[in-house]
Structure 1
Amino acid sequence: MSDTIEGAEHGKRSARADRAALVTALRPRYLADAAQGTERFFEPRRPDCPWCGSDRLRRRLRTVDRFQRKPGRFTLDVCRACGHVFQNPRLSAAGLEYYYRDFYDGLGEKDLGNIFAGKGKTYRQRAEPLRRFAPAPRNWLDVGTGHGHFCEAARAVFPRTSFDGLDFTDGVELAKRAGRVDRAIRGAFTELAEELAQGYDAVSMYHYLEHSTDPRAELRAAQRVLRPGGHLLIEVPDAQCLFARLFGRWWLPWLQPQHLHFVPVANLRAELARLGFTVVVEQHREPHDTVDLLGAVWLLLNAVAPPEDAPWLEKRPGRLRWLTRCAILLAGVPALIVATMLDRLLIKPMAGHFRLANAYRVIARRD
């Protein structure tokens, strides 16, 4: 027993040492980025809505990176004509590279991979509604697949289906090596749509459209890739959720600066109809994720506590700051537990009412 404990402690020390060495190696590049300022990470602010073209805009939110705590400030505007919420000014190509770097891969790969690996039940629930309309699709393309954990879980629902994963990061290649996807496709979906034309019976975009610079172009690409009669499955955060208004910058699904667009479900349905789709399922209660209270408490604790060592900090935080961070997070554990219980036992059963659902899901058939 003692050998097991000693082995676990040695593994933890080794992991901390490996992370510290990686942070040190990455710091010069981040400091060089910081020396050039953050202005180049943004495009010019646009005066109109990217969805409907109206100039009736108002500020919905102004915040900072509350996850990695990289430098920069981010603004979300809402269109008073159609309700579309979007980042304005939007990240440039350089900004997208900077703020995604070491979040899903690199420094953040292990932690995010562990989170995704623990969501098997959620992923199966995302796949199951399609059984009513397509009991055995031949092949399925998961766009924005990340590390491929959805495809791995969906095999339990569709064991005869071939699952391909598409992403622009090296996570999709990791998914292929791990056997989670049958084929790894790396690149931008809109640029690969012609090559993949009419090649799939199902295309899924789970929490992908909000990351896209042009959601309409992504929908057109899906229409091109699907065979007639195929199905498109979409799930996105719902910015019309009550908690988005109540919690403001502490609502976790804002996920700034990564989430660029929040499309209201009415807008999405209208665009799908224009592209020749028929919406066969619209769900709000089922895709609701139990993160509203828990996420708000966590973001508050992370904002109050000194930052952990990261390569975008000028220097490594001292031991006192590290101890302070540990003490604040430890003191917040009871609040995190209470928030988790309320999310699961109180809010989740009510998510279908009072606009409490923080996400919605749509399944549309290509006619």
Structure 2
Amino acid sequence: MTAPPCAARPGDCRYGTAPELVLDTGNHHMPQVEIWRCTACGHGVTRPAMADVSPLYAGRESDDYLARDSGWIQSLKRIATRRLARRLIAFAPAPPRRIADFGTGNGMLARALADAAGPDATVHALDFFDDPPGPLDPVRYASFAAAAPLHGTMDLVTCFHVLEHDDDSAAMLARVLAFVRPGGTLVIEVPNVDCVWNPWFGKACANWYAPFHRVHFTRASLRALLVRQGLEIVAEQDICGPTFALSLAQWLAVRPNGLLFALALGLRPLQWVAERLTRRPSALRIIARRPG
């Protein structure tokens, strides 16, 4: 394999002679992929490379858009997302008046940010598509292609489980960072390749999510990527995410459903304790600030 740049040790990539995993994806764009890990820092990459990942998301048919969720699951997620939005707004040094959610998906986080920020704030939802995923009022939707006028104007930019979806992490981060004004705040969250559940579920662990996850971050590689862009790291957080429920579905070879969601919800205290004790969470979050 031609070694891609290693996020934590650029110029010193050590990917070895064999992949860590070979995964059958069931996706016609890329039915089989290999996961390679750098032996220097653990950072992972999915191969073969994809110069353009947009075909994977055509029609918003991938699981990223959560269209499968039933009504009661959506209600619980809305409650959790509203709580999250209030915490995200508190990361900014002053109440943010211009907010963007980069890679908004189904728009749930953008709507929650608009509710939490209040009527004096303007929230923009940004994604691949020309049209929004559904009604987003009062959120303003824009495609990436049409969003250039917003560059350098945002007090707060959120980017949740997006950075891992592109082969070129540095270029993707630069696209996100373009929206953050000097002195503005960026909140990035990605899956953790060193999640405690990876050995338990193996190929079925949802954190692999092939072929959609193109890179697989460690603490070191995510931190190094942001620092190389000149960002000031304000805080790092371990996040207990939905890996358990999605991995159970993969392991059982069934679609995610309400029963598995309820089971994972009941086991969530166990998941949280295991991730806390091992310091191997299912996701990593970094709050960073662009120098003024």
> What interval of TM-score do these two structures reach, taking the shorter chain for normalisation?
0.7 to 0.9
* 1:132 to 1:99, Cα distance in 2 relative to 1, 3 A: closer
Is 1:62 the counterpart of 2:22 in the alignment? yes
Amino acid at match of 1:168: F
Match of 1:148 in 2: 107
Q: Which one has a larger percent helix, Structure 1 or Structure 2?
A: 1
Is 1:50 the counterpart of 2:5 in the alignment? yes
Match of 1:295 in 2: 246
Amino acid at match of 1:142: D
Give the Å deviation of 1:236. 0.4
**Structure 2 residue corresponding to 1:241, chosen from 175, 195, 199:** 195
* 1:224 to 1:336, Cα distance in 2 relative to 1, 3 A: closer
Q: Check whether the contact 1:252–1:299 (CA below 8 A) recurs between aligned residues.
A: yes
Tell me, which stretches of 5 or more residues in structure 2 are unaligned? none
Q: Check whether the contact 1:201–1:230 (CA below 8 A) recurs between aligned residues.
A: yes
* 1:161 to 1:238, Cα distance in 2 relative to 1, 3 A: same
CA distance in 2, matches of 1:56, 1:279: 28
* 1:103 to 1:302, Cα distance in 2 relative to 1, 3 A: farther
Amino acid at match of 1:216: A
Q: Check whether the contact 1:347–1:356 (CA below 8 A) recurs between aligned residues.
A: no
**Structure 1 residue corresponding to 2:84, chosen from 101, 126, 133:** 126
Match of 1:231 in 2: 185
CA distance in 1, matches of 2:261, 2:142: 38
Match of 1:352 in 2: 276
Q: Check whether the contact 1:240–1:264 (CA below 8 A) recurs between aligned residues.
A: yes
Give the Å deviation of 1:366. 0.7
**Structure 1 residue corresponding to 2:213, chosen from 249, 259, 266:** 259
CA distance in 1, matches of 2:60, 2:204: 19
Tell me, which stretches of 5 or more residues in structure 1 are unaligned? 1-45, 308-328
Q: Summarize the alignment of residues 1-367 of structure 1 with structure 2, pairs less than 5 Å apart.
A: 46-51=1-6, 52-53=10-11, 54-57=13-16, 58-65=18-25, 72-93=31-52, 96-104=53-61, 110-111=67-68, 118-127=76-85, 128-159=87-118, 160-170=120-130, 173-175=132-134, 177-179=135-137, 181-182=139-140, 184-187=141-144, 195-284=149-238, 287-292=239-244, 294-302=245-253, 338-342=263-267, 344-367=268-291
Amino acid at match of 2:232: T
Q: Check whether the contact 2:114–2:138 (CA below 8 A) recurs between aligned residues.
A: no
CA distance in 1, matches of 2:288, 2:194: 21
C-alpha distance after superposition, 1:201-254 (max 9, x if no partner): 111110100112321112223333211110011000001112113311110121
Give the Å deviation of 1:143. 0.7
C-alpha distance after superposition, 1:34-76 (max 9, x if no partner): xxxxxxxxxxxx421332242433412211226x688711111
Give the Å deviation of 1:353. 2.3
Identity across the alignment (%): 27
Larger Rg: 1
* 1:336 to 1:118, Cα distance in 2 relative to 1, 3 A: closer
SS in 2 for 1:164: strand
CA RMSD of aligned residues (A): 3.2
Q: Check whether the contact 1:283–1:360 (CA below 8 A) recurs between aligned residues.
A: yes
* 1:100 to 1:112, Cα distance in 2 relative to 1, 3 A: farther
* 1:116 to 1:219, Cα distance in 2 relative to 1, 3 A: farther
Q: So what's the TM-score if we normalise by structure 1?
A: 0.67
Amino acid at match of 1:297: L
Q: Check whether the contact 2:154–2:179 (CA below 8 A) recurs between aligned residues.
A: yes
Q: How many residues align?
A: 282
